[in-house]
């Protein structure tokens, strides 16, 4: 799995930085990618990546401020014009359905695929046999969600060498043991799956937060995550302004990461007052609290390993 940050600018794009959007490359056997937010210009950014719109499976919207949604209708229209036919599931706060359906209607945009819109609340908003997605409300000027994407554990490895030594014939019996079933051999011996299969391999956890002030729900949502993407709109010198506008500083993002015990923090959503050469200072501020902090770089793949 890889996370690509397609935009790191807050409010509006500037030269060299686009507004908010994230792409998440799903495991190879799934063959798809997911997105979180879709600010203006997102489809231009996607053209500079390996992602194909036809493989977009799900799109999660954190909140309805323009820098997070103004690219959505255009992206959906382009996917249709490119021949995309597989359905897309779109998740987000109340008002998302009205925004999309009204825009498509008055622009007479007709999609060639099914668009399934889910206006979500807190709790699990999606799950299948491989992943679950949980949403939690944050503390912003309007309803803003964070999303916790959790990969289910993978079955442990089968100890083939041991099975050979104790005389278990390869074939269907191996499959039963791998699936957690105990087996009985022809000579009456019982082989327990627990004895020949290693512990389950934990799944990966990725947490992407919408705009927010520091809050307990952000910490709870991010608990133990492999990767946390957190806004850091201002430096700590502007903490009062951050609070006034419902945002966080780099230090506050790092404090959330530390309290949640995450493995890695990426900070993003930088105020346009900061030029590229200023971002290193924001990173250093975060590192004073949480060492495993980095500024998110646009169009750089961040690998998320098991």
Among residues 37, 67, 129, 276, which one is catalytic? 67
pLDDT at 80 over 90: yes
Q: How confident is the model at residue 36 (pLDDT cuts 50, 70, 90)?
A: very high
The H-or-E segment that residue 146 falls in is strand 145-151
Tell me the average pLDDT across 58-75. 98
High-pLDDT (> 70) share of the chain, %: 100
Sheet of strand 33-38: strand arrangement: 115-119, 88-92, 56-60, 33-38, 21-25, 2-7, 301-303
Q: What is the pLDDT of residue 199?
A: 87
Burial of 184 (0-12, 13-18, 19+ CB in 10 A): exposed
Verify whether residue 195 is a known catalytic residue: no
Sign of CA dihedral 239, 35, 97, 134: negative
Contacts of 81 (CB under 8 A, 6+ apart): none
Mean pLDDT of 36-52: 97
CA 252, chain centre distance (Å):
20
Tokens at 286, concatenated: 């975060």
Indicate the CATH number for domain 2-154+201-303. 3.60.15.10
Q: Report yes or no: 16 and 274 within 8 Å, Cβ to Cβ.
A: no
State how far the Cα of 257 lies from the Cα of 228, in Å rounded to an integer.
Answer: 7
What is the reported pLDDT for 263?
98
The pLDDT mean for the chain works out to 96
Q: Is the pLDDT of residue 285 over 90?
A: yes
What integer pLDDT is reported at residue 154 of this predicted model? 87
Contact of 87 with 56, CB cutoff 8 Å? no
pLDDT score of 155 more than 90: no
133-148: burial string, b at 16+ Cβ within 10 Å, e else: bbbbbbbbeebbbbbb
Query: What average pLDDT does range 45-64 have in this prediction?
Result: 97
- Contact at 8 Å (CB) between 298 and 18? yes
Q: Are the C-beta atoms of 253 and 292 separated by less than 8 Å?
A: no
Rounded Cα distance, 44 and 229, in Å: 22
Contact 233, 239 (CB under 8 A): no
State mean pLDDT over 96-122: 98
Percentage of residues of the chain with pLDDT beyond 90: 93
Annotated binding site for Zn(2+): 63, 65, 67-68, 140, 211, 269
Across 116-129, average pLDDT? 97
* Domain regions of the chain by residue span: 2-154+201-303, 160-196
Predicted confidence band of residue 306 (pLDDT cuts 50, 70, 90): confident
What are the pLDDT digits (tens) for 176-212?
A: 998 889 999 989 999 999 999 998 889 999 999 999 9
Residue spans of alpha helices (H) in the chain:
42-46, 66-69, 72-81, 96-106, 160-165, 172-178, 193-196, 216-222, 239-244, 250-260, 279-287
Are 73 and 100 a contacting pair, CB within 8 Å? Answer: yes
- pLDDT tens for 228-267 read 999 999 999 999 999 999 999 999 999 999 999 999 999 9
The pLDDT, as a whole number, for residue 34 is 98
């Amino acid at each position: 799995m890889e996370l690509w940050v397609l935009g790191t600018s807050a409010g509006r794009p500037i030269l060299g930085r686009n507004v908010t959007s994230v792409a998440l490359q799903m495991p190879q056997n799934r063959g798809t990618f997911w997105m979180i937010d879709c600010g203006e210009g997102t489809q231009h950014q996607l053209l500079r990546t390996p992602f194909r719109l036809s493989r977009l499976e799900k799109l999660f919207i954190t909140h309805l401020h323009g820098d997070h949604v103004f690219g959505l209708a255009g992206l959906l229209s382009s996917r249709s014009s490119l021949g995309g036919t597989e359905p897309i599931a779109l998740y987000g706060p109340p008002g998302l359905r009205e925004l999309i359906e009204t825009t498509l209607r008055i622009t007479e945009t007709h999609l060639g695929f099914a668009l399934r819109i889910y206006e979500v609340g807190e709790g699990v908003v999606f799950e299948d046999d491989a992943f679950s997605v949980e949403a939690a409300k944050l503390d912003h000027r309007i309803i803003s969600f964070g999303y916790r994407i959790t990969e289910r554990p993978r079955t442990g490895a089968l100890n083939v060498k041991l099975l050979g030594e104790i005389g278990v014939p390869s074939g269907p019996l191996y499959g039963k043991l791998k699936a957690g079933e105990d087996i009985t051999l022809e000579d009456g011996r019982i082989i327990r799956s627990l004895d020949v299969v290693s512990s389950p391999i934990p799944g990966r956890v990725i947490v992407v937060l919408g705009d927010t002030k520091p809050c307990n729900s952000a910490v709870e949502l991010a608990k133990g995550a492999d990767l946390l993407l957190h806004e850091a709109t201002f430096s700590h010198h502007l903490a009062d302004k951050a609070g006034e506008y419902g945002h966080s500083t780099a230090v506050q993002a790092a404090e959330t990461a530390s309290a949640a015990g995450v493995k890695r923090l990426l900070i993003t959503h930088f105020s346009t007052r900061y030029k590229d050469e200023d971002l290193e200072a924001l990173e250093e501020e975060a590192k004073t609290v949480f060492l495993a902090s980095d500024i998110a770089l646009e169009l750089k793949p961040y690998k998320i390993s098991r």
